[in-house]
Chain A
Amino acid sequence: MERFLWLTATACPLPLANVDTDQLIPARFMKRPRSAGYGDYLLHDLRAPDFPLMRPERQGSRILVARRNFGSGSSREAAVYALVDHGFRCVLAPSFGDIFAGNAVNNGLVPARLGEEEIEVLLAWLDAGNTTLTVDLEAQSVEAGGRQWSFAIDPVWRTKLLNGWSDIDLTLSHRDRIAAFAAADAWCRPWVRLS
């Protein structure tokens, strides 16, 4: 997984609440394998000509700014694939769908939480034609036009993102402990076993 330290990049405003995973990637595009790429389908059905993602000044955006409950809905990791394959590395919003946020971290996408008021200020600032933001994960800060805010993120997720770690290798190093647990547990709760 690619590490994330800090990023100065074009940001795209998405002044919508409850942007669910069905909107991020409509169900009909989910049959393809990951290697085929999901970027072209990001927010596919919202793409009117004046949609922020389509505007010339937002091309090449790597940071997305949205309202509350971003990524709510289904567990489809394809919603994260669509964002990442489109080039996004960070989403700023007041709150995130829980499964979405976990999926994001597992793909090197930073789900950074800013207060509702700060998000409104950022959205207005972007709406006024400004484009470039800096997100610093180490310092947990966002900088825009000389102003700075600090954002919240689960400390474990932050560490994973800063180091580019994925869980699986760590877990596999616990293999023996897992097997011992499974054997002991099968005695205490025999009904768990299936043949």
Chain B
Amino acid sequence: MPSSREDGQSLIWIDRHFFHEGSHHAFNQLRERGAAVVYPTLNIGVADHYVPTRSVSDAAAMGMVEQLSRNAAAHELRLFGLSHAAQGIVHVVGPEQGLTLPGLTVVCGDSHTSTHGAFGALAFGIGASEVAHVLMTQTLWQRRPKRLRVTVNGRPGPGTGAKDMALSIIAHIGADGAMGHAVEYAGEAVRDLSMEGRLTLCNLAIESGARCGMVAPDVTTLGYLQGRPFAPSGEAFERAAQHWLGLGSDADAVFDREVLLEADSIAPIVTWGVSPEDALPITATLPDPSRVPNEARAAQIRDGLDYMGLHAGQKLTEIAVDRVFIGSCTNARIEDLRMAAAVLAGRQARVPGLVSPGSRLVKQQAEQEGLDRVFREAGLEWADSGCSMCVGMNGDLVPAGERCASTTNRNFKGRQGPGARTHLMSPAMAAAAAVQGHLADVRPLLEGRL
């Protein structure tokens, strides 16, 4: 920490800043000031939001990718661009490359930067003015956040995992429930998660209003990092590992708030409305706003049902879907693709769908394992890596009025395209929806397959 002020603000050093096509406003601010990037090696570019993932190419979107290359070149910054073999979604590439390490401060002009907290890094999203500030100073003014610990005890049942845990937490505390807090995820169910699962969990921290989420580094973390291109190696790794294992909260650490969940009470979850907090177990029915006394909440339910074209009391499993999307920084890592493929193997999708791996390296690995064949044979499209239909900036859109079972993180109105209707769920649940043509419980489909 280079400096602190009486008003409680500290100037914190930024170890890693990732930028992408959307960072153009910040580079323009630098240009206007005639400023330089002071610590160029710590600022790393990734092309993801606007990259084409299919043969269709959108000239305006490509212009954004080219603008990113020009900005990176102008300041001589490292870039995982379209011509890089390890290109992918920024929150997949950082961890995969070993650029994200425990204890680092990581920022990016993207709210899902919370993902990197899975390594015990302090990672959060920032706006364009802050991106410019980081480029020019490699620091940010921050206030110490309040601390919230979310403990998930026990073991989740088969067919439920990190995504179901994350959506349950959001439904439980609300989309603004963790506002102003840094969240630490703890408990047996969290410890048992692979790095992929922890990345999914921390990815969704922002959807509960937290700016960052974290899991304490442990042997799982070290195992993942060993041999990554930008992680230290040999003796340097051992020294770093010792430091990293000491980063966890003390046993008697005090939190401003505690939330407790039992993993075995978590069923596969889907969202039905237009906020991630509108999440229910797949076995549930839709809420009835006329029975909700709080007028603001009732209005929100009415608005959600209306936009989604649903009605009160409807069973979730009766909701037919028009397409599925498996992808995004939430759920497009190799384990996610394996889970979806486990459901789809030997089965046919009743609706069209798109599978976009989180990075080119994930794509390569999936192809080595033959997962691409499973997706193709089921009738789904196997695309290139990028943000794709998570936000539709590259032209991969859900048509207006259509309903999409999606492994992404936001079911906001119009998120996947104007008028698009999004139901969030895990990769296994999206695969189940593809096979059944409607929202469905994946558990029976996984019997004998895990």
Residue positions of A touching B, CB distance < 8 A: 15-18, 20, 22-23, 26-28, 30-31, 33-34, 45-46, 67-69, 72-78, 80, 95-100, 102-103, 106-107, 116, 120, 154-156, 159, 166-168, 171-172, 174-175, 177-178, 180-182, 185, 189-195
Contacts and interface: CB of A to CB of B under 8 A. Distances in A.
A69 B210 CA distance: 12
B129 interface: yes
Interface centre among A34, A46, A74 (most CB of B within 10 A): A74
Top 7 nearest A-B pairs (CB, nearest first) are: A103-B127, A106-B129, A77-B128, A181-B2, A77-B127, A69-B176, A75-B125
Given A171-B137, A191-B101, A99 B132 contact: no
Contacts of A180: 2
Given A77-B128, A103-B127, A45 B414 contact: yes
B337 to A, nearest CB: 25
Given A68-B296, A181-B1, A192 B137 contact: no
Interface string B410-434: 1011110011000000000000000
Contacts of A174: 2-3, 11, 137, 139
B265 to A, nearest CB: 26
Interface stretch (B104-112, B183-191, B346-354): B104-112
Interface string B216-256: 00000000000000111000100010010000000000000
A171 B392 contact: no
Contacts of B231: 191
Given A72-B176, A75-B109, A99 B209 contact: no
A50 to B, nearest CB: 14
B133 A80 contact: no
A30 to B, nearest CB: 7
Interface in B99-123: 99, 101, 103-104, 109-111
Nearest to A68: B176
Contact of B22 (A73, A76, A102, A159): A76
A80 B126 CA distance: 13
B136 A172 contact: yes
Given A102-B130, A172-B136, A177-B2, A156 B143 contact: yes
Contacts of A95: 176, 179, 209
A188 to B, nearest CB: 9
A68 B232 CA distance: 44
A101 B167 CA distance: 24
A72 B175 contact: yes
Contact of A192 (B15, B24, B277, B299): B15
B25 A22 contact: no
Contacts of B78: 194
A116 B297 CA distance: 11
Contacts of A116: 296
B271 interface: no
B232 A191 contact: yes
A28 B413 contact: no
B110 A191 contact: no
B60 interface: yes
Contacts of A189: 103, 240, 243
A168 B125 contact: no
Given A69-B209, A168-B137, 7 more contacts: A16-B303, A33-B24, A33-B28, A76-B22, A102-B127, A174-B11, A194-B42
A193 B80 CA distance: 18
B130 A190 contact: no
Contacts, number: 183
Contacts of A171: 11, 133, 136-137, 139, 141
A105 B392 CA distance: 28
A156 B9 contact: yes
B7 A156 contact: yes
Given A155-B7, A168-B132, A182 B236 contact: no
B393 interface: yes
B8 interface: yes
A31 B60 contact: yes
B388 interface: no
Given A31-B64, A168-B132, A177-B3, A75 B126 contact: yes
Contacts of A107: 129
A78 B414 contact: no
B211 A78 contact: no
Contact of A166 (B60, B110, B129, B296): B129
Interface string B46-85: 0000000000000010011000000000000010000000
B41 interface: yes
Given A18-B175, A99-B125, A75 B39 contact: no
A67 B11 contact: no
B133 A190 contact: no
Contact of A75 (B63, B111, B415): B111
Contacts of B1: 181
A68 B297 CA distance: 10
A26 B414 contact: yes
B26 to A, nearest CB: 9
Nearest to A195: B41
20 contacts: A22-B413, A27-B392, A28-B418, A31-B63, A33-B25, A74-B111, A75-B127, A77-B127, A95-B179, A98-B209, A100-B127, A103-B129, A156-B8, A168-B137, A180-B2, A181-B1, A185-B13, A189-B240, A191-B231, A194-B99
B203 interface: no
A18 B419 CA distance: 17
